Amino acid sequence: MDGELDRYAPPTDPWLVVVHLDRDLLVLDKPAGLLSVPGRDPAWQDSALTRAARDLGPMYAAHRLDLDTSGLLVLARRRKAEAALKAQFAARSVRKTYLAVVRGQPEDQGRIDLPLARLGGTPPRNVVDPVAGLPAQTRWQVLRRGSEDTLLALFPETGRSHQLRVHLAAVGFPIVGDRLYGGAPAARLMLHAWRLVLRHPWSGEELSLQAGDQDPLTQ
């Protein structure tokens, strides 16, 4: 693991922020700096998943967020629910909206269609690769402009690792605080999983979720 996780010290206050809880699933507002699931090393066992399991019983990860990304994280409380939720993410039927602060002034809206391939190394990274890369698409819309930075709503159409970070860096608008892909220095990665729309794994009803009522990146 890279040097940042050698100094892994996740936030503990608040311990867990619950957005939704029922017999089948738990949705958390994960803080930046906390792993979604535990790492292999004993020093990296603290995670959203282990905290939830400690407080609420058995939990299974339906998807993951990067360590430095905050926002909505979906956990299943039963194996059947886990399978149903993972199937939705795999089928790209879960509608996701992220918030990101980028350096620069992109157009009001647009779409990035650049294939991504995984690189080796520690930590692993992704790179645009038109030959060996897998298809990846991201839409964006400007929400607010500042003198140097812009707040974007991001709509990933695929779910590749580091997709939003690599795509925005590739078109010249790296996310502020992104240490891997050339973002301007900041106290944290300015990327937040803000909204999710999915089907409840038991009832099949549409469930619309949001992490907070305000913009968490500019409060």
Backbone angles phi, psi at 132, to 5 degrees: -100, -5
Q: Which of 22, 24, 29, 66 is catalytic?
A: 66
- Cα 5 from Cα 123, distance rounded (Å): 10
> Annotated catalytic, 68?
no
The b/e string for 186-211 (b: 16+ C-beta within 10 A; e otherwise) is: beebbbbbbbbebbbbeeeeebebeb
CA angle 38, 91, 137 (to 5 degrees): 90
Please report the DSSP string for 106-168 in residue order.
--SEEEEE--EEEE-TTTTEEEE-TTTPBP-EEEEEEEEE-SSEEEEEEEESS--TTHHHHHH
Q: Supply the residues annotated as catalytic.
A: 66
